[in-house]
Structure 1
Amino acid sequence: MKSEKKLYRMWKVLSFAFSLVIQVYWYKFRKKSEAEWDQLWEKLGKQFRQMLFELEGLLIKVGQMLSIRADLLPNGFIKQIQDLVDKVPPSPWEDIKNVLEREWNGPIEEKLLALERKAVASASIGEVYRGVLKDGTEVAVKVQRPTIQSIVKTDFRTLSIIIWFAHHFAPVPKGFISFKMLYQELKQVIERELDFKKERETAEHFQNRFHSFAQLKIPQVYPELSTSQVLVMEWVDGIRITDVDFLLRSNIDRDELAQRLFRVFLPQWLEAGIFHADPHSGNVLVQPDGTIVLLDFGMVGEISKSDAANFQSLLEAILLKNYSKAAEVLCDLGFLLPNANLKPIEKILGEALNFELAQLKEMDLFAVKKEMNDIVKSLPIQIPTRFVFLGRSFVTIEGMLHTINPEKEVLEVIKPAFMDWLHHSETNKWKLFLKWMNSQPIFQIFHSVTDLIKKPQQLLEQREIQQQREFHFSIFENQKKQCVYLGIVGVIGSLLGVYVEQDILWQLSSGLSGMCLFGYAIVSLKQRKWLKTLS
């Protein structure tokens, strides 16, 4: 990648980031309405989207990852990038040929009988070509884009500058977002996708894990032809599982197909191990006999044994309405930032989860999701990327289930599969059942009465604390605004002094600008220290 393109790429991204911060501060100063804020975030989202399509490469992948961070970014911004498609023009054939011959230490003809020169699919990191092995087996050859390593270095360097700036100067009211952690998680995910050896290992893991699962096809991997930049897998034909017309023509039982699809993913979500983090309809196919095909194992998440144990503890704590225990488990899972005060979390959990299981079917799930997002944004919560992937995986499959069999409620599909998993898993279902019984109203009368008596006082205390925090935060913000405005006056005075050739004017103005910059840094430092005392 030429240095001129690198500099242009960095300038384009950095200028957008700084422009975004300036506009946000300006809207805060003008005290714009909520509708005007929504319009601003939509406009910025469109500009970000246009920039991604212009620069392509790694940034499209970054945009896709940001599009699922509704816990961090405004809805207006998210809406503009949530349907990003990682599809870019293929590389010149000669460049792809050079990569293959370098990785295979020889001509392509020594490894393959044939290889089509036209890419079947082309994304920001890799391109897929259709080929034939010496024994006549059709294969899919995934090749890493020749310039991606250089692009990644440039983009990560740019992102690190933005993260540093955001960490020190971003107008985040709560101060509860760890930009450094967000950057590290983003970098870790991208670097994993860049190593095709890891994707090969993941595909082999899924083959071993689901080898006995009926009517599920995971393409075979050819390790002798695969490297860190080339992945060769069995070619498998199929149609998108959401193609309802195909399902009808093939006389596939849609109810049974939906059940089977959910049974494939349920153990991935609830048991320790790796789960498919990108199960969109292009990666989940179906064959005429109803066999499900899983493709593309580049983006995965992992649930550790401790995560799985904590999930069970969280479920038990919620069923028992033990919200202090639930808050502790959330902390152990990494949902709460270090040194966060658990008391407000306990109160919010008590209010948010104060419903009975029988009410679940009558709830507006979209309204519940929006309310939960609002709660997350108001607390020192930052969802770890692996759990964001887990949530996206579940929501994507949920959408597929509704498309496959729209006549049936998703809960009706989920319930028998979940009960079957519970029956065959190692979970102590009788222990869980007893704990669930103890959480029911007939056993919780005194607990409910106590909550009813305490709740008004708890709400008053919480509201008073929130008002105090907002007051202190506004003081810091006003001080920072004053520094910014005086600094602007100083800059204008400096330029005017140079223009009219008045040394004393530009010297005094420059001094004023320097003092304002120093003052801004001092106030920001004090604000950060104060925010740390809240967590």
Structure 2
Amino acid sequence: MKEQSNIPTSKVERAGKFVTTGLKVGTNYIKHYTRKLVDPSLSKETLHQDNAADIYETLSSLKGSALKVAQMLSMDKGMLPKAYTEKFAMSQYSAPPLSGPLVVNTFVKTLGKSPAQLYDKFEMRASNAASIGQVHKAWKDGKALAVKIQYPGVANSVKSDLRIVKPFAIRIVGMNEVDMDKYFEEIESKLLEETDYRLELTRSMALSRECAHIPHLLFPQYYPELSSDRIITMDWLDGQHLKEFLQGNPSQEARNKIGQALWDFYQFQVHQLKQVHADPHPGNFLMRPDGTVGIFDFGCVKEIPDDFYYNYFLLTDKEVLKDDKRRYEIYTNLEMIHPTDTPKEVEFFSGLFQHMIDLLTLPFTVDHFDFGNEGYFNEIYAYMDELYNMKEVRESKVARGSRHSLYINRTYFGLYSILSELKANIVTGASGFSPRRETK
């Protein structure tokens, strides 16, 4: 893959890139509608492919929060046209890497020494590159290491990038600006945390230690003395990303073991720690034929407030949701229903949410669940598509759903997606959880 010798870091440079891309997207629309005059049956597939390629080219050159938004959107199947999902998914672990001189410069600036002075051997070519940083392989004292390096200017450009990328997101996703404002505040806070590598190092060490007892999970050791505010050094974990792993035709036993390990990993964090690894895309996991899986990126961690946790997981209790008054209270607490809603709106949105919840919480309500059931996921995607096209939903004047739900929903949707691709059949344990308020 071609290396990148520089990254635009000033607001003017980065904004200029978006303006140029906006002009390209506009030209693509003109081309599409000109062709459609000749052939009225022409679909938007080519338009989506052209726009996805142009937007991704810009985002991958800018890196940082702009590319991270693309990565997040790529995980939300049903939200984006397929062309965008497939193109943006490249940001998970195969964005263009930085060139050697930029890598060395980062080491000298933050650790005061070059890679050659810190490690016995350092591979200057990146092993993989994503939205916030890239990973290099190194060796020290006979041990293989993974060295994550943050791209220049990422931390300083979060706020300005999100202001610029928001109009693209609104146009692509179709979500109104009220929703975008509410959720972009949450996205901004998480992205600022993700650029704080010292915070990530602390969380990585703590969460790895807390989750070490879960069967079939592997965590690296971290090295604070070889880390800085833009560099994290940890053990190198062997394994394959999901796509490569599946190409090796792994056994169903290995798929199930990995699926069970991931399910248990997320359930333990959510219900015991009340904080969760909220970036479950395939680039953050390394899978092995023996059914073990390595987890190494805790840059995005969502802390779950008690009140939100209590109400959110009451949605998995079918008996509670049978009580209309109780259900209305839960929906209101989670900001799915608003005090300003008319009785007609309450009835309409309650019905939509009830069906969506019945679908999405099904794995929680049974002892075992087969995530290889394609019919289940087809039903989810079809319903999401139906919601996306509903006039009442698209024209809603209020954002529906707590800001906390953004990363929790994203976490479970990402987990479901991985389990679906694994076709894992696992123990979900319907009786193993009952939400309770914390007592103080």
- State the alpha-carbon separation in 1 of the partners of residues 174 and 121 from structure 2: 59
- State the alpha-carbon separation in 2 of the partners of residues 137 and 213 from structure 1: 25
Q: Which residue identity is paired with 1:401?
A: L
**TM-score, structure 2 as length reference:** 0.72
Measure how far apart 1:150 and its partner are. 6.1
**Structure 1 residues 80 and 177, CA gap change in structure 2 (3 angstroms):** farther
Any stretches of 5+ residues in structure 2 without a counterpart?
A: 1-7
Contact 1:272–1:304 (8 Å) recurs in 2: no
Corresponding position of 2:96: 89
Alignment of 1:291-440 (within 5 A): 291-316=292-317, 319-336=320-337, 339-341=340-342, 342-349=346-353, 364-375=376-387, 378-379=392-393, 380=396, 382-383=400-401, 384-402=405-423, 410=425, 413=426, 416-419=427-430, 422-423=431-432
**Structure 1 residues 67 and 137, CA gap change in structure 2 (3 angstroms):** closer
Corresponding position of 2:229: 228
1:63 aligns with 2:63: no
- State the alpha-carbon separation in 2 of the partners of residues 171 and 235 from structure 1: 37
- State the alpha-carbon separation in 2 of the partners of residues 174 and 95 from structure 1: 38
**Structure 1 residues 2 and 365, CA gap change in structure 2 (3 angstroms):** closer
Measure how far apart 1:320 and its partner are. 4.4
Contact 2:280–2:411 (8 Å) recurs in 1: no
1:159 aligns with 2:180: no
Corresponding position of 1:186: 187
- State the alpha-carbon separation in 2 of the partners of residues 263 and 2 from structure 1: 40
Measure how far apart 1:9 and its partner are. 0.9
Corresponding position of 1:47: 51
Any stretches of 5+ residues in structure 1 without a counterpart?
A: 429-535
Corresponding position of 1:499: none
Contact 1:142–1:231 (8 Å) recurs in 2: yes
Sequence identity percentage: 20
**Structure 1 residues 41 and 262, CA gap change in structure 2 (3 angstroms):** same
Alignment of 1:512-527 (within 5 A): none
1:112 aligns with 2:119: yes
62-71 or 224-233: which moved more? 62-71
Report 1 or 2 for greater relative contact order, CA contacts < 8 Å, sequence distance ≥ 6. Answer: 2
**TM-score, structure 1 as length reference:** 0.61
Alignment of 1:270-281 (within 5 A): 270=271, 273-281=274-282
**Structure 1 residues 304 and 45, CA gap change in structure 2 (3 angstroms):** farther
**Structure 1 residues 18 and 103, CA gap change in structure 2 (3 angstroms):** same
User: In the TM superposition, what whole-angstrom CA distance separates every residue of 1:285-340 from its partner, at most 9, and x where no partner exists?
Assistant: 23465432112222343433222211333233665412443243233224456744
User: 126, 134, 138: which is aligned to 2:133?
Assistant: 126
Q: CA RMSD in A?
A: 4.4
Contact 1:113–1:132 (8 Å) recurs in 2: yes
Mark the structure with the bigger radius of gyration. Answer: 1
Corresponding position of 1:265: 266
User: In the TM superposition, what whole-angstrom CA distance separates every residue of 1:337-356 from its partner, at most 9, and x where no partner exists?
Assistant: 67444343334456777899
User: 141, 153, 156: which is aligned to 2:147?
Assistant: 141
Q: Which residue identity is paired with 1:370?
A: A
Q: Which residue identity is paired with 1:146?
A: P
**Structure 1 residues 76 and 283, CA gap change in structure 2 (3 angstroms):** closer
- State the alpha-carbon separation in 2 of the partners of residues 5 and 41 from structure 1: 31
Corresponding position of 2:4: none
Q: Which residue identity is paired with 1:12?
A: T
Contact 2:255–2:422 (8 Å) recurs in 1: no
Q: Secondary structure at 1:398's aligned position in 2?
A: helix
- State the alpha-carbon separation in 2 of the partners of residues 70 and 290 from structure 1: 26
- State the alpha-carbon separation in 1 of the partners of residues 332 and 249 from structure 2: 44
User: In the TM superposition, what whole-angstrom CA distance separates every residue of 1:116-140 from its partner, at most 9, and x where no partner exists?
Assistant: 222111223212111223x333211
**Structure 1 residues 141 and 76, CA gap change in structure 2 (3 angstroms):** closer
Contact 1:199–1:297 (8 Å) recurs in 2: yes
Q: Which residue identity is paired with 2:261?
A: R
User: 19, 28, 47: which is aligned to 1:11?
Assistant: 19
- State the alpha-carbon separation in 1 of the partners of residues 219 and 151 from structure 2: 24
Corresponding position of 1:446: none
- State the alpha-carbon separation in 1 of the partners of residues 272 and 289 from structure 2: 30
105-114 or 75-84: which moved more? 75-84
- State the alpha-carbon separation in 1 of the partners of residues 120 and 144 from structure 2: 10
Alignment of 1:501-512 (within 5 A): none
Corresponding position of 1:213: 214
Measure how far apart 1:96 and its partner are. 1.1
Alignment of 1:195-210 (within 5 A): 195-210=196-211
- State the alpha-carbon separation in 2 of the partners of residues 285 and 60 from structure 1: 22
